[in-house]
Chains A and B, each alone.
Chain A
């Protein structure tokens, strides 16, 4: 039987057990390591040097002092902190440290301080990154190197050092080598590790990474048609709506300025997807990305739904996910069109009013072409809430108000060449197909205004281009 103990000078409990360690050493059975000072504990004649923390890391020490009993090179028992009964059990010595109080909790091991496990795993070989290492010349600025290599969307990126990538990977239980799918346009395999490198570039924290992974997986569903969305002449890019507990856990914004700047999770999760498309897939503006104008949301467009009202059916639940599940929903969307209505005081009027704004999506005379998101602000929602309208009533009223006579929409009607097939002149025509209008709650209080996010006109090919959702896994 051999004993191994790990201590640090700055820990009062380690100082307390000095005489006990001296006693064990006198019996010739102790291998003693110090994390901060090999001269400590003087009473026991000092320690072996573990300032590299290799021994602490290899023995998975979380608390100091830790006392471990080894037999045949294998751990068979351990005590953490000072609990005299446990030390007696581990050492087999009755009455050990009888002069000390029976119990004093230990301190945190230096090997488990924030970021240290990943640093040690890299240093001692447990984490081996497969992505190609790029050595930055000491005379170069790493951020300028990321620009030179074309990794940036135009804004600065966070240099993906080994430590940052390892920390990002600690945000998921998934293996770094797992393949998420083929990233368009070049249809290249994207591993969890490669996604982590790009999530670092984007500025994600490790706890955002599962949401970023779900977003990438959703974008790769064939029915989302990410390739076409990238290559289109149209303005659209992926718009990500996050639902469920994960949004609160990682501090996403569903309130004031939810569609704007200022929240790290909102900003970086959407950006991570776009950087994966750019860097792994090779999709770049003026190359495969043929957008005539684009839109600022192509840097990033991600927000959480306001689920604070228990009466409201969240978007993901409406789309078939379990209540309380965390999901991402991806939509092919353009920029934000504001809708002011400060005079409607009843639900019917407000629904008709919002429908007027929605008519313009794609083109006022087009139908079943582009889908839309209607982002309902709290003040507009309050008018519906007062009338006891929930999601079903609001959607039904909007669809009703958006149903128009075909003769007003056909090619040439009202002196405008654009329009729907003349054969539909006698029909009543819906603006959106079922499921094509996403009503989402977000925003801050104080304004009778909502927002329309118009969709990609290729959504007219509704079997090929679909809105998708994906559950967030740990």
Chain B
């Protein structure tokens, strides 16, 4: 065993050190809240209810959706959310 035992990394090699989660804002009153539908059946019902309740508290709410739940969100939609929102709620399910 003179030679080192070397394996090749099967991953995308993009994983760095563990990333810290962004701390949630202390105060939502000045935050823009994004509601993001993945376009699965009835996810909009959930988000509509959420929007009503947040709006009733006087919070600023923006709506986003990806075209279909079967494919990843387009870069443009993700960029839009990042640029305009402080917080985002993603809705799944049937």
Contacts and interface: CB of A to CB of B under 8 A. Distances in A.
Nearest to A197: B10
Nearest to A182: B72
A275 B9 CA distance: 12
A329 B4 CA distance: 41
Contacts of A198: 10
Nearest to A163: B6
A333 interface: no
B76 interface: no
Given A186-B14, A465-B70, A129 B8 contact: yes
13 contacts: A131-B10, A133-B8, A136-B4, A149-B11, A197-B9, A197-B10, A227-B71, A228-B69, A228-B70, A280-B12, A282-B11, A461-B68, A461-B70
Of B5, B10, B69, B92, chain A has the most CB atoms within 10 Å of the CB of: B10
Interface string A182-193: 011111110000
Interface in B1-52: 1, 4-14
A183 B13 CA distance: 13
A110 interface: no
Of B7, B14, B92, chain A has the most CB atoms within 10 Å of the CB of: B7
B14 A464 contact: no
B3 to A, nearest CB: 10
Interface in B58-73: 68-72
A189 B13 CA distance: 11
Nearest to A136: B5
Given A160-B8, A183-B12, 9 more contacts: A129-B8, A133-B7, A142-B5, A151-B10, A161-B7, A161-B8, A184-B72, A458-B69, A464-B68
B10 A280 contact: yes
A377 to B, nearest CB: 33
Nearest to B5: A136
Interface in A145-160: 145-146, 149, 151, 159-160
A132 interface: yes
A472 to B, nearest CB: 22
Contact of A197 (B8, B71, B92): B8
Interface string A126-150: 0001011111101000100110010
B10 A160 contact: yes
A84 B9 CA distance: 52
B7 A458 contact: no
A189 B71 CA distance: 17
A162 B8 CA distance: 7
Given A184-B72, A228-B69, A228-B71, A194 B7 contact: no
